[in-house]
Amino acid sequence: MAFEFTDSNFQEAALEGDKLAVVDFWAEWCGPCRMVTPIIEELANDYDGKAVIGKVNVDHNPEVSMKYGVRSIPTILFIKNGEVVDKHVGTASKASLEEKINSFI
C-alpha cells in the first residue's frame, strides 16, 4: 500500500530516509490523479523495501505542496538523500515511472 506523506511526516519519511522517496502530489477531485493512483499503489508493492512510494493530498497538506512549488497535479517528485533528483508533472505510465525509479535505486 502506498505511504501517506503529510506535512508532519514529510521531513522524516521523504527527506531523511535512506531510500528513494517517490511522492505523488494529488487531490480527490483531480481526474488525472485518479488515473495515476493505481500505478502508485502497484509501484509501492513492487518496490516495498527498496523505495518509499506514496502520496500527498495537496488539499490536506498545503505546507509541503507550497515548499516544493507544486502548481499542477499530479506531480511526482523523486527524492534521494534529501534532494529532489527528478520531477514528473501529469499522468505517466507504470513503465516510465519504473524506469526512473530503477535509475535512482
What residues are labeled active site?
30, 33
The one-letter amino acid code at 76 reads I
Report the sign of the C-alpha dihedral through residues 69, 10, 61, 34, in that order: positive
Cis before 38 (ω within 30): no
**Residues constituting the chain:** 105
* 86 exposure class (CB count in 10 Å sphere: 0-12, 13-18, 19+): middle
Cell of 86: 527528478
